[in-house]
Amino acid sequence: IRCFLDVSARLHSKVCPDEQQVRGRRWRPARARLWIPRKMLSKKTYYYFQYTECDSTGSRWRVAIPLNPGSCSDLPAPTRGTDCSFSCPAGMYLEMTTQKCTPCAAGSYSLGSGLRFDQWDAIPAGFTSMASFLDSGPNGEDIQACNSSSWTPQGVYLESNRDECTVSLVYAVHLEKQGSVSFTYQYPDNNIFFEFYVQNEQCQEMVQTDDQKWIKVTNNGEWETHTVNLKSGMNILYWRTTGILVGGKMFKPVLLKNIQIEGVAYTSECFPCRPGWFSSSPGSSSCQPCPSNTFSIKDASSCTPCPEHHYSQEGWAECKPRPPCSEEDYFQIHAACDSEGKTQVLYRWVEPKICVENVTGAVELPATGRREPCPPCNPGYYNSDDSTCLPCPPGTHSDGTYVCTQCPAGTEPVLGYEYKWWNVLPSNMKTSCFNVGNGNCDDMNGWEVAGDHIRSGAGSSDNDYLILSLHVPGFKVPASLSGMTGSEFGQITFVFETICSADCELYFMTDVNRKSTTVVESWEGSKGKQSYSHIINTVCSQVRRYVSDMVKLYSITVTNVLDGVASSCRACALISQNSQQAGSSCVPCPAGFYIHRETNRCQECPPNTHLAGRHTYGQDACVACGPGSISNKEHSRCYSDCSFSHTENNRTLTFDLSPLRDVASVIIGPSFTSKGTKYLHLFNISLCGHEGNRAAVCTDNVTDVANKDDQSDSARFVTLVDSFICQSTIIPADGRGFRMAISSQSISLAETFIGATVDTVLDGVNAKPDFFPESLKDVPDINFFYRSKQPTASCDQGRSSVITVRCNPEKSERGEVSVPSSCPAGTCDGCTFHFLWESASACPRCSEEDYHKIEGACKGGAQETLYVWNEPRLCTKGVSLPSRSSSPCEAVALWLKVGVGGGAFVAVLLISLTCYFWKKNKRLEYKYSRLVMSANKECELPAADSCALAEGEEPEDDVVYTQKPSLLGKLRAIANKIETVPLNSSQSDRWMLR
């Protein structure tokens, strides 16, 4: 006993590095469940037997231990015990008095050298549930938001927490020999991180392979068993879960049951069967559940039938009264079409039937409905003579209302599934029911056909998963579409409606080769009738919270199915007349070719066009690429070659964006959930792709976080998303005990490149320039537009993205990417994402208009010419600055020569005008004098002048010009118009010219 306590003390003094809350707890290692039967106790002294610790030789002693420490008299002498490696087989226990293996009595069981925990009404003794949040608060304080998180017992299983706290289920056991631990689990949701590891008594993690430590995800409704080998000595077992709850959506918890440990020294008494279970014969190694309508108490060797008007389900410890039958206890089905093409509605009780009909308030099973005409066959099927819908033979088609018809020459059948009439469930569909607590409930009616729709049926409880599975053997692209290398292989489209009275949820999942199940999309609560499309999806299921909740599926359509049927025919290229090929009338066109309407021959699409849609018939199948984009050789997609040109103000700007070709990453955050979990948003951006291919890749490594390389088998199933822009949610590794950061919830935001332009709107996508600071440069922003056509629950038309490339000479060639300050997650509505990429590489290529020259002064007879860039410099690469040049100075500068010449001309002109006007003035004075002298006295008329010229008199200057006067003539005319003013003089009348 002293050694046992010392081991416990040493254990509790150690603090495990990743479990801080272990401090202060006393760990008492579970050696073996020590049961003390009353027959082992002495009536006088009340003692029991216990083995001592094994010595170095493998021996031990059996000693008597009193119940009362003060009573040590009349104890049996110690005797040599069994060998330390001795253990009893399953179904037996070690009787300490005789030291022999004894069979367990009926109503109990034993594992011999093992322990089993399969009853979870409460957490068994020895187990501890510890919640921790290893990320500290902003100021370093401990976050207490996880104090209420724990593993929760649910009767037949243990349920993990449903939040993002880290919760560990811990059990310490001491093994005398090498053993193992196995447990059964459900791990349906990869948004929770689930690991199992083992530590020794020094809190050192034991060496485990990745497959042993990291638990694999299971399909919905399936239980898996995980086994790990243990070493002898102390083993501390950890089951640890950490949720990744980003976006507010609850994830499905991990379920744990049937923990079994092998390698303990012995068990001194058998375990009693828990209530609802029994073992009918002695020496049992396990108990069995009681059948339906029976029950049992603890330690039962048989089950008791329920009283009248009571019922129970398998493994119940008590019976419940049968309720009166209600409308929830029956369902309707459509009978198969008879030979007359008639059907009728039938009503059946939900099995197993638990209600009572002949009591007050109970409803009766409705009568069978009247016979009605059967709905038509689904497209691709025809109605046989016995009113059974059969698939059309290969090469034929039908819409379900007429007989199958051969496809004409030059066409091929469009293969797929199209279900819109629901008289019977198709052979490739299966309906099932699963209940988390009670396992399978396939005896319930999972989904029911109802003429024009199929709907979820009645379940036994509010926690049922009603699963509808559609098996698709494979996809094959038709010959007419084989040239569309960038097209999808297949697509599934379904029309649905949910009617929920509470929080029911519809899941749409894919399951490829049963390797992993991925939830593609989910819808919560009531949803109106709507359509949803996705690529290659195979599973649809509903989890209900109330049995009256219902999901209706009106139609399911799957394209390009390998063994599908045809409802129509598609045009294809004909085989030439001289071809020797046989067995088919169609040939596939090469990649990038379409089928000419008149000749039915393959013809290549024009340059910079791509094959769009799901057809190749006619030239209209070749769609022109958007602005700033070109098509690849196969004409499968359009992309940017990282070059762009724009003409503005009679100037063409040429951009070389090749430095931005490599994938860029931008991390946004950190953000915190309601519990305080730190997470980041990571965007990987491929502006131009890689020769037309999407180059940005995001991974989802939640279930593969331990893999160090991609060589392991599990690494092949890591979810990868390739796109022009993709997003991942990152949980940092710091403080969480992970080897690497967790990347989850990877989605594609840009699968198709629309085009690049300086306009703010393209194909209905708005760049929202007001989201970013206004550019103060003269260079326009370039907007790259992308689209992801995959619709989501919140984005009916899919997502779109815009990358605004802006010239910023202050940034490096690679630059940096940012998101709008008003939308810290990159989007404000969840459907359109905006990014700003500022870089020096986004400036146009330099030209001669981007620099000017400066001529220096003459020094020593030489003059230097210097070329400098215009400021601010808004260009890159392109032409280079001319080198500095030097030339000899001229004696007289040209401008000086021109100035001197001009000045001389002006001086001569002024002198000429001065002389002219001086002479003119003299002549005017002379005429004025003559006028005064010839004036008569007052009131006399002047005498007529002689027409002759006096001696020395010059002829009259006034001349009438018949032509336009010259400049000199104009000046003379101006002088002649000067009016004279008579002067009053006493001598004026005395002078007279005779």
Closest to 318 measured CA to CA, from 288, 296, 286, 292:
296
Contacts of 568 (CB under 8 A, 6+ apart): 397, 399, 413, 414
pLDDT band, residue 9 (cuts 50/70/90) = very low
Per-residue model confidence as pLDDT tens digits over 380-430: 999 887 778 889 998 899 988 888 999 887 788 889 999 998 888 888 888
pLDDT band, residue 536 (cuts 50/70/90) = low
Contacts of 366 (CB under 8 A, 6+ apart): 330, 332, 347
Most confident of 134-148, 550-564, 701-715: 550-564
- Contact of 936 with 989, CB cutoff 8 Å: yes
- Contact of 844 with 653, CB cutoff 8 Å: yes
pLDDT band, residue 893 (cuts 50/70/90) = low
User: pLDDT value at position 613?
Assistant: 66
Tell me which residue has tokens 């976050």. Answer: 143
- Contact of 699 with 743, CB cutoff 8 Å: yes
Per-residue model confidence as pLDDT tens digits over 241-275: 877 666 556 678 899 988 999 888 777 788 889 88
pLDDT band, residue 818 (cuts 50/70/90) = very high
Three-class DSSP category at 925: helix
Range(s) of the chain covered by CATH 2.70.130.10: 644-703+718-843
| Higher pLDDT pick, 768 / 691 | 768
| Interatomic CA distance for residues 70 and 864, integer angstroms | 115
For the domain made up of 644-703+718-843, give the CATH fold. Cation-dependent Mannose-6-phosphate Receptor; Chain A (2.70.130)
The one-letter code for the residue type at 393 is P
Query: Residue 130: beta bridge partners?
Result: 168
Round the average pLDDT of the chain to a whole number and report it. 77
How many other C-beta atoms lie within 10 A of the C-beta of residue 77?
A: 8
pLDDT band, residue 516 (cuts 50/70/90) = low
Output the CA torsion sign for 721, 722, 728, 732. positive
Which string of b and e fits 87-96 if b means at least 16 CB within 10 Å? bbebbbbbbb
- Contact of 862 with 856, CB cutoff 8 Å: no
| Interatomic CA distance for residues 482 and 114, integer angstroms | 60
How many other C-beta atoms lie within 10 A of the C-beta of residue 964?
A: 7
Per-residue model confidence as pLDDT tens digits over 848-892: 888 988 888 778 778 888 889 888 888 988 888 888 888 887 655
* pLDDT above 50 (res 27): no
| Interatomic CA distance for residues 361 and 356, integer angstroms | 10
* pLDDT above 50 (res 213): yes
Beta strands in 324-404 (DSSP E): 330-334, 342-343, 345-349, 372-373, 381-383, 389-391, 396-397
User: pLDDT value at position 514?
Assistant: 54
Backbone angles phi, psi at 151, to 5 degrees: -75, 135
The pTM (predicted TM-score) of the whole model is 0.66
pLDDT band, residue 67 (cuts 50/70/90) = confident
Three-class DSSP category at 380: coil
What average pLDDT does this structure show over 734-751? 72
Question: ∠ CA 646-652-655 to the nearest 5 degrees?
Answer: 60
Contacts of 714 (CB under 8 A, 6+ apart): 210, 211, 214, 216, 703, 704, 707
User: pLDDT value at position 86?
Assistant: 76
Burial (Cβ within 10 Å: 0-12, 13-18, ≥19) of residue 43: exposed
Closest to 716 measured CA to CA, from 933, 930, 516, 936:
516
What is the number of alpha carbons within 13 Å of residue 564 lying toward its C-beta?
30
Report residue 50 CA to chain centroid gap. Answer: 60
pLDDT band, residue 575 (cuts 50/70/90) = low
| Interatomic CA distance for residues 315 and 318, integer angstroms | 9
pLDDT band, residue 992 (cuts 50/70/90) = very low
User: pLDDT value at position 7?
Assistant: 31
Range(s) of the chain covered by CATH 2.60.120.200: 114-135+147-262
User: pLDDT value at position 372?
Assistant: 85
Least confident residue range of 69-83, 327-341, 759-773, 871-885: 69-83
Radius of gyration of the chain (CA): 49
- Return the CATH number of the domain spanning residue range 114-135+147-262: 2.60.120.200
The DSSP element (H or E) to which 569 belongs, if any, is: strand 565-571
pLDDT band, residue 440 (cuts 50/70/90) = low
User: pLDDT value at position 828?
Assistant: 87
Three-class DSSP category at 174: strand
Least confident residue range of 602-606, 720-724, 726-730, 895-899: 895-899
How many other C-beta atoms lie within 10 A of the C-beta of residue 718?
A: 19
The one-letter code for the residue type at 477 is V
pLDDT band, residue 583 (cuts 50/70/90) = very low
Least confident residue range of 266-270, 557-561, 828-832: 266-270
Calculated CA dihedral for residues 264, 269, 270, 274, nearest 10 degrees: -100
Beta strands in 625-663 (DSSP E): 630-631, 638-639, 643-648, 651-656
pLDDT band, residue 709 (cuts 50/70/90) = very low
User: pLDDT value at position 936?
Assistant: 53
* pLDDT above 60 (res 134): no
* pLDDT above 50 (res 721): yes
User: pLDDT value at position 991?
Assistant: 41
| Interatomic CA distance for residues 455 and 552, integer angstroms | 4
Per-residue model confidence as pLDDT tens digits over 671-698: 877 666 778 889 999 998 877 778 888 8
* pLDDT above 80 (res 803): yes
| Higher pLDDT pick, 516 / 153 | 153
Contacts of 31 (CB under 8 A, 6+ apart): 4, 173, 174, 264, 265
Question: ∠ CA 630-634-638 to the nearest 5 degrees?
Answer: 25
What average pLDDT does this structure show over 658-675? 84
- CA distance readout (Å), 102 to 47, 268, 308: 20, 10, 40
End-to-end CA distance of the chain: 173
Q: Does the bond joining 872 to the residue before it have cis omega, within 30 degrees of 0?
A: yes
| Interatomic CA distance for residues 254 and 239, integer angstroms | 10
Calculated CA dihedral for residues 334, 336, 342, 346, nearest 10 degrees: -30
Tell me which residue has tokens 């649809």. Answer: 540
Q: Does the bond joining 321 to the residue before it have cis omega, within 30 degrees of 0?
A: no
Closest to 128 measured CA to CA, from 29, 222, 215:
29
Please give the full DSSP string across 305-323, using - where no structure is assigned.
EPPTTEE--TT-SS-EEPP
* pLDDT above 80 (res 464): no
- Contact of 614 with 487, CB cutoff 8 Å: yes
- Contact of 240 with 256, CB cutoff 8 Å: no
User: pLDDT value at position 141?
Assistant: 46
User: pLDDT value at position 823?
Assistant: 87
| Interatomic CA distance for residues 568 and 399, integer angstroms | 7
What is the bridge-based pairing of β-strands 832-839 and 799-807?
Answer: parallel
Least confident residue range of 212-216, 470-474, 513-517, 679-683: 513-517
Please give the full DSSP string across 416-444, using - where no structure is assigned.
EEEE--BSS--TTEEEEEEETTTEE-TTS
- Contact of 120 with 73, CB cutoff 8 Å: no
Beta strands in 145-290 (DSSP E): 152-153, 158-159, 166-175, 179-186, 192-199, 224-230, 233-243, 255-262, 271-272, 277-278, 288-289
pLDDT band, residue 530 (cuts 50/70/90) = confident
Three-class DSSP category at 447: strand
* pLDDT above 90 (res 552): no
User: pLDDT value at position 984?
Assistant: 46
Report residue 740 CA to chain centroid gap. Answer: 20
Per-residue model confidence as pLDDT tens digits over 174-198: 887 788 999 999 888 777 878 898 9
Most confident of 113-122, 738-747, 833-842: 833-842
Contacts of 636 (CB under 8 A, 6+ apart): 484, 485, 486, 487, 591, 592, 610, 611, 692
Per-residue model confidence as pLDDT tens digits over 28-46: 444 444 444 444 444 444 6
- Contact of 477 with 486, CB cutoff 8 Å: no
Q: Angle formed by the axes of helices 967-976 and 894-933, to 10°?
A: 30
